């Protein structure tokens, strides 16, 4: 039996650069656990929808900032694993050109290859009708001080809505993006491509969403591939390039993608597919857990993936607690060592807590799950180490937490507040096990 203790480390806000767009100073608020979180914000804007990525002690947080002139995407970089952050920098070159929402946030990843570190931010760019919004990747090769003009990831002039994206970085300097795409709503199959299909008719053809994946090479070339058709409309995807191959099952450079699939009888469960680096092709998807969540709508809540240093895959996702009762959504966790078979699902949240929006990160042999839940008069950010037994802790008021590993634990970010008062909070969590590996 393994025991693990979560230790929350103090994060101190510091001033950096011009006051108009610096992290707020002196606005750190103690969380329920007694820690203090950094505040990142663009003053005068509604700051929300964070994403976080790390590479050693370098941590990057990207988020959206909405104002009277539209929505922009900002990124701030830390060189000390999230203890302090530099000045936020606007990612989009055209002011007000971004689109973002809670399930359609910007996503950030860091690619390191050949001694070069590149920050990539995947975001949604507004477009004039009849074209739908486009998936765009902006990159920085100078540590986040500037971002180049974006690379178009999704096809030009494609109609329909898109987003619910995820981003990962490969060891070769490439980025891997996955997203839901409505270009084929009301249409037939994508021409000339082999894709994975669900076996029940989509209930609403006009709401159809397909799953796409793209590889954005270091030289900027983009290879886009449809991965699955008629998937659940508006649940986030998860994309992962495992830092450690799954034991005997994947090779360096293989990519894992998870999403909410529509199975027969409109059962909306989590699917996972592996892209083999050697062939560049995806294997047929597998069902992570037969939850039998039958819906004629989308729960607006998707899966998350992480691989520990021991080569163990962790999947967390929201699903129905009891298909027979069909009344309560809950957060579940399963493990895999091969990406094809999974342990039975294990519930993580407390019954009746209204838990939602799970994420997971792994650091060495440790793994940390996060979600938000009702409590103390509002939504609270919850953290739980995936060792057993473990006790959840409250990081503070907020929603949509995200996390990434550091040499010292995990950098965790979330949205705190609502409307024009919303800011991004960042804290550091250290999971310190005392025995067997996770």
Closest CA to 140 of 189, 92, 187: 92
Q: What is the residue extent of each domain of the chain? A: 4-433
Rg (CA), the chain: 20
pLDDT of residue 377: 87
pLDDT of residue 438: 59
pLDDT per position as a tens digit, 318-330: 999 998 877 799 9
Count of beta carbons in the 10 Å neighbourhood of residue 249: 17
pLDDT of residue 199: 42
Q: 129 falls in which pLDDT band (50, 70, 90)?
A: confident
pLDDT of residue 11: 36
Whole-angstrom distance, CA of residue 375 vs CA of residue 349: 13
Least confident of 4-13, 27-36, 216-225: 4-13
Contact 239, 177 (CB under 8 A): yes
Flag whether pLDDT at 23 surpasses 70.
no
Say which residues have a Cβ less than 8 Å from residue 68's Cβ, sequence separation at least 6.
Answer: none
pLDDT of residue 58: 97
Mean pLDDT of the chain: 87
Q: 29 falls in which pLDDT band (50, 70, 90)?
A: very low
Say which residues have a Cβ less than 8 Å from residue 115's Cβ, sequence separation at least 6.
Answer: none
Flag whether pLDDT at 435 surpasses 50.
no
3-class SS of residue 13:
coil
Over residues 97-112, the mean pLDDT reads: 96
> Is the domain covering 4-433 a CATH 2.120.10.10 domain?
yes
Over residues 118-128, the mean pLDDT reads: 95
pLDDT of residue 128: 83
Joined tokens for residue 115: 């001694």
pLDDT per position as a tens digit, 222-254: 999 999 999 999 999 999 999 888 876 788 889
pLDDT of residue 8: 40
Query: CA angle at residue 81 from 78 to 87, to 5 degrees?
Result: 15
Percentage with pLDDT > 90 across the chain: 72
Over residues 265-282, the mean pLDDT reads: 95
Whole-angstrom distance, CA of residue 180 vs CA of residue 115: 33
Q: 336 falls in which pLDDT band (50, 70, 90)?
A: very high
Joined tokens for residue 230: 């008629």
Beta bridge partners of 30: 36
pLDDT of residue 376: 82
DSSP letter at 30 equals B
Least confident of 46-50, 127-131, 286-290: 127-131
pLDDT of residue 432: 54
Contact 266, 260 (CB under 8 A): no
pLDDT of residue 177: 98
Whole-angstrom distance, CA of residue 322 vs CA of residue 300: 19
Beta bridge partners of 409: 406
Whole-angstrom distance, CA of residue 395 vs CA of residue 36: 9
Q: 194 falls in which pLDDT band (50, 70, 90)?
A: very low
Flag whether pLDDT at 15 surpasses 60.
no
pLDDT per position as a tens digit, 404-427: 999 989 999 999 999 899 999 999
Closest CA to 314 of 403, 373, 243, 386: 386
Q: Is the dihedral of CA 267, 236, 396, 415 positive or negative?
A: negative
């Amino acid at each position: 039996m393994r025991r693990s203790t979560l230790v929350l480390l103090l994060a101190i806000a510091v001033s950096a650069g011009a006051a108009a767009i610096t992290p707020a100073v002196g606005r750190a608020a103690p969380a329920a656990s007694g820690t203090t979180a950094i505040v990142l914000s663009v003053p005068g804007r509604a700051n929300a929808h964070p994403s976080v990525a790390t590479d050693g002690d370098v941590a990057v947080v990207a988020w959206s900032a909405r104002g009277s002139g539209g929505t922009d995407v900002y990124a701030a970089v830390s060189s000390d694993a999230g203890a302090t952050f530099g000045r936020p920098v606007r990612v989009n070159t055209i002011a007000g050109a971004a689109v973002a929402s809670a399930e359609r946030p910007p996503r950030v990843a860091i690619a390191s290859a050949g001694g070069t570190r590149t920050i990539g931010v995947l975001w949604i760019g507004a477009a004039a009708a009849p074209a739908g919004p486009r998936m765009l990747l902006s990159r920085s090769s100078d540590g986040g001080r500037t971002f180049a003009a974006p690379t178009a990831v999704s096809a030009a002039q494609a109609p329909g809505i898109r987003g619910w994206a995820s981003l990962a970085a490969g060891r070769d300097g490439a980025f891997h993006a996955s997203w839901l795409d409505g270009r084929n709503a009301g249409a037939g199959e994508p021409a000339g491509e082999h894709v994975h299909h669900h076996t029940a008719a989509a209930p609403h053809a006009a709401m159809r969403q397909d799953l796409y994946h793209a590889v954005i090479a270091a030289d900027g070339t983009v290879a886009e591939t449809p991965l699955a058709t008629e998937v659940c409309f508006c649940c986030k995807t998860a994309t992962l390039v495992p830092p450690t191959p799954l034991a005997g099952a994947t090779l360096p450079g293989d990519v894992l993608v998870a999403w909410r699939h529509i199975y027969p009888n409109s059962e909306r469960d989590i699917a996972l597919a592996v892209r083999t680096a050697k062939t560049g092709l995806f294997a047929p998807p597998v069902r992570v857990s037969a939850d039998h969540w039958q819906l004629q709508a989308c729960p607006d809540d998707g899966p998350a993936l992480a691989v520990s240093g021991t080569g163990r895959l962790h999947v967390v996702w929201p699903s129905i607690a009891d298909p027979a009762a069909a009344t309560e959504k809950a957060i579940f966790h399963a493990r895999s060592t091969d990406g094809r078979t999974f342990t039975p699902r294990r519930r993580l949240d407390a019954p009746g807590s209204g838990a939602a929006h799970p994420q997971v990160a792994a650091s060495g042999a440790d793994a940390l799950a996060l979600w938000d839940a009702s409590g103390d008069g509002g939504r609270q950010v919850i953290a739980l180490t995936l060792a057993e037994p473990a006790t959840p802790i409250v990081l503070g008021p907020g929603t949509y937490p995200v996390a990434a590993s550091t040499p010292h634990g995990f950098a965790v970010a979330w949205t705190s507040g609502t409307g024009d008062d919303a800011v991004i909070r960042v804290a550091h969590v250290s999971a310190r096990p005392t025995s067997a590996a996770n």
